[in-house]
């Protein structure tokens, strides 16, 4: 039986595992919080994944995927992949054990960059508007930090849910190139884009309400935002990385390989890689 090693037990890795196991492969999934635990568990509710009309928590969705994979005979190890000896077709897990494989798939996701400033703990900070935007409504004002496509589409999405969206872009123009979304955002009465602006720090007024101090063009000016319920920090992400030694084939799927970080896309991406592997053997 052909053996495949998959690093990552998120929607992409597990979908790939399910397809390959059902096609008769022996599948080992390696997962740990260091490099491969799914970011899906962070989503309090996922409402856009088909088949769950009332939504499901990220944790529940992932548990169901794990259950399905295990039912198909997939073996999920609680060690991650520490390094890949690609020419020798072996992975070394985080406990130091080497495992042979015939094909190797990396589905290790991305890490959202974390926004830091003094007092940031005074407000909830989210990184996914689609996952967490529905926690806020017409009585809430939110701040989006970042000028990339994620920040633009997040600000647009949030403008349909909340009272006021303020987007803080640290440069004189947005980095994002989704002009359609940017144009749509500029027509929104309840959305404002502040260029050359960064969140400098947050403190509290006498009643304990947070005050956001915004620095303009890198020179601190006492510009304040009041009545803010939450921050959406959309400042990019970095793919997780595993050391590769040698140049043997490595398949990639999910957030570490796709443009959009969405469960439905990760699932499709995992299925596609599995079918490519099946087709190439």
Applying CB under 6 A, which part among 41-49, 60-68, 229-237, 250-258 lies near ligand NDP?
Answer: 229-237
State yes or no: residue 111 binds ligand NDP (CB under 6 A).
Answer: no
Pick the binder of ligand NDP from 15, 153, 164, 269 (CB under 6 A): 153
- Three-state DSSP at 227 gives coil
State yes or no: residue 231 binds ligand NDP (CB under 6 A).
Answer: no
State yes or no: residue 77 binds ligand NDP (CB under 6 A).
Answer: no
244-273 binders of ligand NDP (CB under 6 A): 259
State yes or no: residue 109 binds ligand NDP (CB under 6 A).
Answer: no
Strand partners, 85: 90, 245
Pick the binder of ligand NDP from 73, 210, 236, 239 (CB under 6 A): 236
Give the shortest CB-253-to-ligand NDP separation in angstroms.
Answer: 16
- State the CB neighbour count (10 A cutoff) for residue 111: 15
State yes or no: residue 147 binds ligand NDP (CB under 6 A).
Answer: yes
Calpha distance 226→207 (Å, rounded): 12
State yes or no: residue 119 binds ligand NDP (CB under 6 A).
Answer: no
Q: What is residue 51's DSSP assignment? A: T
Q: Which two tokens stand for residue 91?
A: 């992975």
Pick the binder of ligand NDP from 16, 36, 69, 151 (CB under 6 A): 151
Calpha distance 255→202 (Å, rounded): 32
Q: CA triplet 270, 58, 27: central angle to 5 degrees?
A: 35
Calpha distance 229→140 (Å, rounded): 6
- State the CB neighbour count (10 A cutoff) for residue 189: 7
**Binding positions for ligand NDP, rule: CB under 6 A:** 113, 115, 145-151, 153, 170-171, 175-176, 178, 181, 198, 234-237, 259
């Amino acid at each position: 039986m052909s053996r495949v090693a998959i690093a990552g037990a998120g929607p992409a890795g597990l979908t790939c595992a399910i397809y390959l196991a059902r096609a008769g492969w022996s599948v080992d999934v390696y997962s740990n919080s260091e490099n491969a635990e799914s970011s899906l568990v962070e989503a309090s509710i996922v409402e856009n994944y088909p088949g769950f009309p009332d939504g499901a928590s990220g944790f529940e969705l992932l548990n169901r995927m794990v259950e399905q994979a295990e039912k198909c005979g997939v073996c999920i190890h609680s060690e991650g992949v520490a390094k890949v000896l690609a020419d020798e077709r072996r992975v070394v897990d985080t406990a130091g054990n080497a495992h042979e494989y015939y094909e190797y798939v990396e589905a290790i996701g991305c890490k959202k960059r974390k926004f830091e400033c003094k007092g940031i703990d005074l407000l909830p900070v989210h990184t996914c508007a689609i996952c967490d935007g529905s926690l806020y409504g017409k009585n809430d004002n939110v701040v989006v930090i970042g000028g990339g496509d994620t920040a633009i589409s997040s600000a647009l999405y949030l403008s349909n849910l909340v009272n006021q969206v303020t987007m803080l872009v640290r440069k004189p123009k947005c980095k994002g190139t989704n002009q359609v979304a940017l144009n749509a955002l500029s027509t929104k009465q309840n959305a404002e884009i502040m260029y050359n602006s960064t969140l400098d720090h947050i403190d509290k007024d006498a009643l304990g309400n947070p005050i956001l101090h915004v620095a303009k063009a890198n020179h601190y000016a006492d510009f304040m935002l009041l009545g803010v319920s939450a921050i959406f920090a959309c400042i990019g992400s970095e793919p997780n990385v595993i050391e590769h030694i040698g140049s043997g084939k490595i398949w990639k799927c999910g957030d570490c390989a796709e443009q959009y970080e969405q469960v439905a896309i990760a699932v499709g991406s995992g299925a596609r890689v599995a079918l490519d592997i099946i087709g190439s053997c």
